[in-house]
Amino acid sequence: MSAPLLCLDHVTYSYPGAETPALDDVSIAIEPGEFCLLASLSGHGKSTLLRAACGLVPHFHGGRFAGRVTLAGLDTREHGPARLGGVAGVLFQDPETQLVMSSVRGELALALESRGHGAAAVARGVEEVALALGIDSLLDRSTHDLSGGEKQRVALGAALAGRPRLVLLDEPTSQLDPVAGDELIGLLRRLNQEWETTIVLAEHRLERCLSSIDRVIALEHGRVGCDSDPQAFLAWAAERSPALQTPAAKLFALAGLSPAPAGVRQARATLRAHDLLPEEDPARVDRPQPGRSTENGRVRRSQQPPAALECNGVWHELRDGPAILRGVTLRVQPGESVALMGRNGAGKSTLLRHAAGLLDPTRGRISRAGRVALLLQNPGDYFVHERVADEAPAQALAAVGLAQMAERNPRDLSGGERQRLALAIVTGSGDEPALLALDEPTRGMDREAKAELALELRRRAGRGQAVIVATHDPEFAAACADRAILMADGRVIADGTAAELLAGGWYFATETARILAGADGVLLPEQGAELLRARQVDAGVRAGTEGPGEAVLDAPAIGRGVAR
Amino acid sequence: MRVVALFYRRLPSPLHATHAAVGALWAAALTVAALVLSHPLVLGALLAAVLCAGAGAGVGRQLARSLRLAGLVSLPIVLVNVLVSRQGLTVFARLGDLGPFGQGDLTVEALVYGAVIALKVTLLMLVTTLASLTVDPDELLRILRRLSFRSALTASLATRMLPVLAADAQRLAEAQRTRPEGAPRGARGRVALLRAMIGGSLDRAMDVAATLELRGFAGAHRAPRLSRPWSRHDIAFLLSAVAVLALAVIGRFASAASFDAYPELHAPVSAGTIVLSIALAAAVLLPFADRRGIDG
């Protein structure tokens, strides 16, 4: 067996001034060519582990460090990040802070140049990494002009330019739309399989990558809770940390099926093998749903209650650039919760800014029933005070469950808490806003925090507040919205119930919907489990009539909780 | 509101296609010409040529914006010179006795001299804008990195981070506008906002510093010399720079482009002046005529 490429030996680490360690007696060894996933709730040590692996901990961050980390035989206590960077390429969450140069070519060349490579080696390295990542067409572009997905690819390219043996990635897909996110995971898989690059990936949306990886290391309060293959990890998560369960695993668990699947393909294969897979109905996607017109405004206005937000042919055209919104017509009723989806650059954020009055349409008209509270992407942008209590009124803090944190510094809060504080700031304590608009509120949030936020949004919609959420996360969209709108190129290209829209696609669909091929508009594991239980009963009845040899209920793969 | 794009973007133009060193040299030649020449007609021709060059490089809109800004700067220059200068013989307005400042006589010479200075300032601003929009800072600083890696990289970083920080500031301002009570007001509110902005910038600086560490900044070597063949555009702009410098020297010393504001205006317009103006404009613009081999 070869020597491990990365080895953490009883590593305990605390950030400066922290009372509890971020890593607590962590021992792991990662072999060359492995594709590992780091899973945990927010604040349980994923990022710290990655930073320890590349030497930023302790060299850059300081703090108290015990134990030993070796990377390709180099002890990180003796070698700094500059030296270790030759072995490990690192990609963090925000590509904006990882692009240092003005041009893509300059960016890819920087790491090679600063390590003293000759001109020919630099030119070759740049060319090769650009070709490998499919960014050769971007080489002469300005880094400022790139889209989020392109920036993330270029940052990955810069990390890979020196052909590192290990790549460490910290939630690289959190700012990407589902298409770009899947592309990035596919790219990592190719790097791993074709060039045997060792990959350690920290990610919240496990369903996105679980089927591609070899091993999962789950952290709990800075300790290794589970270190196993995906199958065993899912079993562990079901028992110890349900918030880490993927939707597919949750679906199977709720339906009483086992083993938990690592991805859609495995889930469908298991269901097909046991005749539980619903039949696909190709006509379903195009079938109009009762009660909603896909083109707003067709229903007679006199029959409609006053809208919380009404956009009529809204255009946003840049003076020296393209149109960002192209004739958007939209009506959101009080108490309605809407998920706004689409690729990066589709116009979602711009539409929300128009809704809140931050921008004025260059053509078209917007009317609002009252105040619009807009929560922008970075909750930290709202914080200007040193105490939580100074940021928002006590009543608003109590409404989001932060009353007991009034004396804390806003910047010390966890991701979910920061989001809730920002929500308290924009909603205030006075008159309730007629519309609450949220722009990508779940970036970097773990599943538990997302579930809490979805519940809060449901509560607000229940009180008659209209809610509109721009999100890349179909699972979150399904959990918080009744209606979904798909945007592309500044236009609304689909508008329907969440069940209608999120059940019928490849990218903009929940994992449950993809497993069940959108049957009955089922989106969430709980609904899917009900459907599967009903099919198990049907299958049981059929088996009873067809003969005992065909009985699904006797199949070994079907485990606990089967309806009998 | 959008961040004004006054930074380098690679565009399909002959100027963008040159080596950064050649582009910078060409811009330096224009700067020298603007400083050395004083005849209003010649400076006017140079101004027109620079604006046309901006259009030829695909950055005409940004240059027009810069021209408007230069106009705002120029007006006070002219006004101050007219009011302050006590030279010149041709009085066009008398403001009477201004006490300790003496007689307030406004002269045509002071007005023209102020206008010429304003023209020079305008030209310098436009040439700087044109250079920053068309000369690849990465490539230019790469040359400097051979001399001082860290200083040049820091300069690169500043170039790259300017638009990023501008976008950050815009985002922060938007977030504050979405507060029900609006952005924090008063001195304390502004201080709090400023502190938040600085805090955000420092957070970003920490992340960038971490990235640089991992890219080997601490053990950085001298950047290697990259051999990129000289294109026809490099040669054309190099010749243009030499021609502009030569014409500037000729204009400085030849009587055809002589200019004196005081005590009496002396700016003869002869055939030589016109030829010099046309030659200067042609020297600036001719490299833009050849668009062969430009990508995009």
For A302-327, write each residue's pLDDT tens digit. 566 789 999 999 999 987 678 999 99
pLDDT reported for residue A1: 56
Residue A86's pLDDT band (cuts 50, 70, 90): confident
Structure confidence by residue, pLDDT tens digits, A522-532: 899 999 999 99
**Probe site for chain A from B178, B179, B190, B212 (most A CB atoms < 10 A):** B178
pLDDT per position as a tens digit, A136-170 = 988 988 888 787 778 888 999 999 888 899 999 99
Report DSSP state, residue A34. -
At residue B5, the pLDDT reads: 54
Buried b / exposed e over A396-430, threshold 16 CB at 10 Å, is bbebbebeebeebebeebebbbbbbbbbbbbbbee
The DSSP-derived string for A465-498 is -EEEEE-S-HHHHHHH-SEEEEEETTEEEEEEEH
Decide if A50 contacts A38 (C-beta within 8 A).
yes
Burial environment of residue B258 by CB neighbours within 10 A (0 to 12, 13 to 18, 19 or more):
middle
CATH superfamily of A306-521: P-loop containing nucleotide triphosphate hydrolases (3.40.50.300)
Among A43, B178, A412, which residue's Cα sits nearest to residue A402?
A: A412
Contacts 24+ apart (CB under 8 A), B66-69: B66/B6, B66/B125, B66/B126, B66/B129, B67/B122, B67/B126, B69/B125
A483 CB burial (10 A radius; 0-12, 13-18, 19+): buried
Segment A477-486 mean pLDDT? 95
Q: Which of A415, A443, A450 is nearest to A44 (CA)?
A: A415
Condensed to tens digits (0 to 9), the pLDDT of residues A359-400 reads 999 999 999 999 999 999 888 888 888 899 988 888 888 888
Q: How many Cβ atoms are within 10 Å of B270's Cβ, its own excluded?
A: 12
Check residue A467 and give its pLDDT: 97
Looking at the complex, does the CB of residue B19 fall below 8 Å from at least one CB of chain A?
no
Total residue length of chain A: 564
| Cα gap A311→A314, rounded to integer Å | 6
pLDDT for A82 beyond 80: yes
Contact (Cβ atoms closer than 8 angstroms) between residue A153 and residue A135: yes
Yes or no: say if A410 and B200 are a contact pair by the CB < 8 Å rule: no
Question: What does the pLDDT read at residue A561?
Answer: 33
d(CA A474, CA A311): 24
- B227, two tokens: 């051999």
Q: Which residue, chain included where needed, has tokens 């294969």?
A: A269
Task: Say if residue A449's pLDDT is above 70.
Answer: yes
Question: Shortest CB distance from B171 goes to which of A113, A158, A381?
Answer: A381
Q: For the CA atoms of chain B, what is the radius of gyration?
A: 24
Judged by CB atoms closer than 8 Å, whether chains meet at B216 and A98 is answered as: no
Question: Which residue's structure tokens are 């601490």?
Answer: B218
Task: Give the separation between CA B129 and CA B63, rounded to whole angstroms.
Answer: 7
Q: For every one of its 296 residues, what pLDDT tens digit does chain B have, with 9 covering 90 and above? A: 444 456 788 888 999 999 999 999 999 999 999 999 999 999 999 999 999 999 999 999 999 999 999 999 999 999 999 988 888 888 888 888 777 777 788 899 999 999 999 999 999 999 999 998 999 888 887 787 777 777 777 776 776 677 777 777 888 888 888 888 777 777 777 777 787 778 777 877 888 888 888 887 776 667 777 677 899 999 999 999 999 999 999 998 888 888 998 888 888 899 999 999 999 999 999 999 998 888 65
The DSSP annotation for A325-341 comes to EEEEEEEE-TT-EEEEE
A351 in Cβ contact with A372 (< 8 Å)? no
Per the structure block, which two tokens stand in for B37?
């020449």
B223 to chain A, any CB pair closer than 8 A? The answer is: yes
Q: What is the nearest CA distance from B216 to chain A, expressed in angstroms?
A: 4
For domain A6-243, give the CATH number: 3.40.50.300
Does B228 contact A at CB distance below 8 Å? no
The pLDDT-based confidence of A547 (bands split at 50, 70, 90) is very low
Residue of A nearest to B174 (CA): A358
pLDDT at B154: 76
Q: Does this complex have an ipTM over 0.85?
A: no
Least confidently predicted of A104-108, A198-202, B179-183: B179-183
Q: Residue B263: is the preceding peptide bond cis (ω within 30°)?
A: yes
Q: How far is CA B167 from the centre of its chain?
A: 22
Region label for B90, one of left (φ > 0), alpha (ψ between -120 and 50) or beta (otherwise):
beta
Work out the average pLDDT over A12-30: 94
- Where is A267: in which H helix or E strand? helix A264-273
Structure tokens given for A492 = 């609304």
Residue A137 φ/ψ, nearest 5 degrees: -75, -15
Contact B214 A122 (CB under 8 A): no
Task: Give the confidence band of A543 by pLDDT, cuts at 50, 70, 90.
Answer: low
- How far apart, in Å, are the Cα atoms of A4 and each of A28, A29, A89, A263? 9, 6, 17, 28
Start and end residues for every CATH 3.40.50.300 domain found in chain A? 6-243, 306-521
Q: Which residues pair with A466 in a beta bridge?
A: A435
Q: What is the pLDDT of residues A110-134, one digit of tens each?
A: 888 888 888 888 999 999 999 988 8
